[in-house]
Structure 1
Amino acid sequence: MDLVTLDSLIERASDFPPLPMAVVDAGEAYVLEGAREATDAGLLQPVLLGRKPRIEKIAAEIGFSLAEVTLIDAGGEKESASKGVELVAEGQVHGLMKGWIHTDVLMHPVLKHLRTERRVSHVFLAELPAYPKLLYVTDAAINIAPDLKQKAAIVQNAVDLARLLGVPLPKVAALSALEIVKPEIASTIDAACLSKMAQRRQIHHAVVDGPLAFDNAISKDAARIKQIDSDVAGEVDILLAPDLNAGNILAKDLAYLAQATLAGIVVGAKVPIVLPSRSDPPKGRLASCAIAVLMHHLWEQFRRENETQGEPG
């Protein structure tokens, strides 16, 4: 199977029709530049929500023609978020993108009205010069201090996303500060339980090992030196952070110190949700939109195939 890269995801998504997506609180230059990039790439059909005069003014300043773009006037963050959720409920859009709005304000109506049977969580995809494949980092944006049950759901979300995007059997490292079970550190106990849950098929279609510290998750040499026998070490696809603080710091460390390009997506809601950052490069923004496109067009087929195999996705 060909190696999955951010460029390959963008190319793959371009084979599908543009995804109607509500850009929530779009009145900011960075937000509109991202929407324009994704529109020009044929990935999105944006619906811009926010203060109409401001959006029109900024769009004119950056040369973004709104002639074929739907623009809906909304008075502020909360109104924009509510209208975005309404558009999803009405079937007018099939995705949401965070604009100039706080994440918690956007997610409040999402969690109230767009939940599914799955837990809502966030996954970063990191492309690094120093690692041979994409790294999935979860959760760095939604779940603050997940317990064991919630971590299992977060892992399953990331596993299913990785499989959807072309990783047949994802390898998951449940991270902690060290690689032995130490009762005083709760994340080591959770990690060990997650490893056993995967062995017992409570987590499907993945190899999970933990607790693993970051060095022996990412490096076979580090694992060998510490005499760790692991099928995940040095070949990890998914890094499960013990909490949001650790996940967020890890993702930003990868971006700023290891030259990673990050793409990200919220999974588990009725539609994919993109939470871009001002610091995201164009490739990262496009890849995030591409992931949303692929989720929308491929998820139902993926789910049916998993049901046919007798295991939930």
Structure 2
Amino acid sequence: MITSLKEVILRANNQKKCIAVASAEDKDVLISLSEAERHGMATFLLFGDALKIRETMENNNLVFRNAEIVHAKSAEEASYEAARAVSEGRADIIMKGLVDTKVLLKAVLSKDLGLRKNDLLSHVMVYELKNYNKLILLTDGGMVMKPTLKDKENIIRNAKVLGDILELDPMKVAALSAVEKVNPNLESSVDADELSKIFKAEEGIVVEGPLSFDIAISHESAKHKGVKGEVPGEADVLLVPSLEAGNFLGKSFTYMAGADSAGVILGAKCPVILTSRSDSSEAKLNSIALAVLMTLSKEENQ
């Protein structure tokens, strides 16, 4: 089991995967790319305003050995060309730069590029918390606003791809709600119960719920409340009931608990690195490393 983001970075070193960056004229993105190059993780196709990209590099003393700058007139063009580079086999990974998420995803989902793989694309953040004994995945706090029961099932299946890469066997999923018992008036509790039944016979994955957040991550809380199972106190994945819940919880990890993190989109034929504009260059480097591991896993399974 991979238990730290440092180990993710170590495994991604010297793999030299090609990353197509959409709207690369972003300081923190370019700093993270420079660090990724230093580790030998990747080479780069930088799509965007060529003048601004060069200015940002010069203003921050960044020099790349293996980066090609490709001018694009707009964020839409930069996003489409980055996605097309992957579709044509010139790149392995897409990364969000200074562009709105919806613009990037529209390009990724373009029918003519054929990058869509699963019925649903979903976002996963991986957090390293000082007071938890392993990495914890949070999904979906970045894409699917109000997931249906079927959406939640697909979100879990997407997360399983990452769970396999992080060697979680079985991957323990806490279907979160505000309660530990099914309440017909609380949709998250009803869905959590249904999900636990859907995945009951599935190999390599355990889904339990409804579980409150404290029970999912604390043996002491689970014991105090008399909640038993494989997941309480041992959750690998926190399945949140809405984008808002995931957004609040993830940002509390970062800003209140000082967690280190990485973020990717799952469900496309390639990893899509999606981090917040406010995320540090360190978090972006972690995300690059995670995406590199995803491409290695894809190659092994082909």
| 1:264 equivalent in structure 2 | 263
CA displacement at 1:207 relative to structure 2:
0.9
| 2:214 equivalent in structure 1 | 215
1:180–1:149 CA distance, 2 compared to 1 (3 A): same
Query: Matches of residues 128-277 of structure 1 in structure 2 within 5 Å?
Result: 128-201=129-202, 204-277=203-276
CA displacement at 1:75 relative to structure 2:
0.9
Q: Deviations over 1:129-150 (max 9, x none)?
A: 0101000000111111111111
**Separation in 1 of the partners of 2:20 and 2:106?**
16
2:44 aligned with 1:46? yes
Query: Matches of residues 65-104 of structure 1 in structure 2 within 5 Å?
Result: 65-66=63-64, 68-104=66-102
CA displacement at 1:159 relative to structure 2:
2.1
Q: Deviations over 1:117-173 (max 9, x none)?
A: 352111110000010100000011111111111101101111221122221211110
1:117–1:300 CA distance, 2 compared to 1 (3 A): farther
**Separation in 1 of the partners of 2:23 and 2:271?**
17
**Separation in 1 of the partners of 2:299 and 2:238?**
25
CA displacement at 1:67 relative to structure 2:
5.3
Measured on the aligned residues, the alpha-carbon RMSD in Å equals: 1.5
Contact kept, 8 Å, 1:23 with 1:48, in 2: the verdict is: yes
| 2:296 equivalent in structure 1 | 297
| Structure 2 unpaired stretches of 5+ | none
Contact kept, 8 Å, 2:2 with 2:8, in 1: the verdict is: no
CA displacement at 1:178 relative to structure 2:
1.1
Identity %: 37
| Structure 1 unpaired stretches of 5+ | 305-313
Normalised by the length of structure 2, the TM-score is 0.94
| 1:21 equivalent in structure 2 | 19
**Separation in 2 of the partners of 1:219 and 1:66?**
45
Query: Is the partner of 1:296 in helix, strand or coil?
Result: helix
Normalised by the length of structure 1, the TM-score is 0.91
**Separation in 2 of the partners of 1:189 and 1:142?**
22
Contact kept, 8 Å, 1:118 with 1:269, in 2: the verdict is: no
2:32 aligned with 1:31? no
1:267 maps to a residue whose letter is L
1:126 maps to a residue whose letter is Y
- Deviates most, 162-171 or 91-100: 162-171
Contact kept, 8 Å, 1:181 with 1:189, in 2: the verdict is: yes
1:293–1:69 CA distance, 2 compared to 1 (3 A): same
Count how many residue pairs are aligned between Structure 1 and Structure 2. Answer: 299
Q: Deviations over 1:35-84 (max 9, x none)?
A: 21211221121110101111111111111124541110001111111111
1:98 maps to a residue whose letter is K
CA displacement at 1:107 relative to structure 2:
0.6
